[in-house]
Amino acid sequence: MLSVYRRLFYCALVTTILGCSQSDTVPVTGVVMFNGQPAAEAEVMFNPKTGRLATGVTDASGRFKLATFKPEDGALPGDYVITLCEYYPPDKPPKMTSGPLPSCFPSKFGDPNTSPLTAHVERGQKNEFQLDIK
C-alpha cells in the first residue's frame, strides 16, 4: 500500500516539475531616456493587443525590468504599444485633480491609442529596449 502512495507522489512531483519548467513570460529590460537624461521613477507599461499588461518602474539610471505575473518575470511574447507616466508609489499617491494625472512626459506617451512607442517581445531573443523620449 505504501508503494502505491509513493508512486502517486513521484508522479505528482514529476508532473509539477515538468509543468513548471518553462514560464510563459520572457525577460524584458530596457532604459528610458527623456531629453537625453535617464528618466527616474517612470512607470513603463507594455500594452498588448491581446493578453496581459506588463509593467515596470525605472530606477535612477532609467533602467527597468518588466513584470506580468510576479516581480521581474518579464512579458508574454507578442506585440505591444508602450506607454509611460510618472510612477507614484502606493503609499505616496499624487494629489487628486479634476484632469489627468500630472506627468513629465508629453501626453501622447501616456495613451496606448496615441503612443508612437512599440515593441515586439520574442522568446529566445534579447528583449532589451532603448526608449528615447524628447
Q: Could you tell me the CATH number of the domain that includes residue 118?
A: 2.60.40.1120
Task: State which amino acid sits at residue 52.
Answer: R
* pLDDT band at 99; cut points 50, 70, 90: low
What is the pLDDT at residue 101? Answer: 65
- Structurally, the chain folds into a number of domains equal to 1
pTM given for the model: 0.79
Q: Is residue 60 part of a domain?
A: yes
Q: Is residue 10 part of a domain?
A: no
Q: Is residue 122 part of a domain?
A: yes
Q: Is residue 107 part of a domain?
A: yes
* pLDDT band at 90; cut points 50, 70, 90: confident
48 vs 79: CA distance, rounded Å: 6
* pLDDT band at 11; cut points 50, 70, 90: very low
**Residue 78's domain spans which residues?**
23-133
- Count the neighbouring beta carbons within 10 Å of the beta carbon of residue 3: 7
* Mean pLDDT for the stretch of residues 2-28: 57
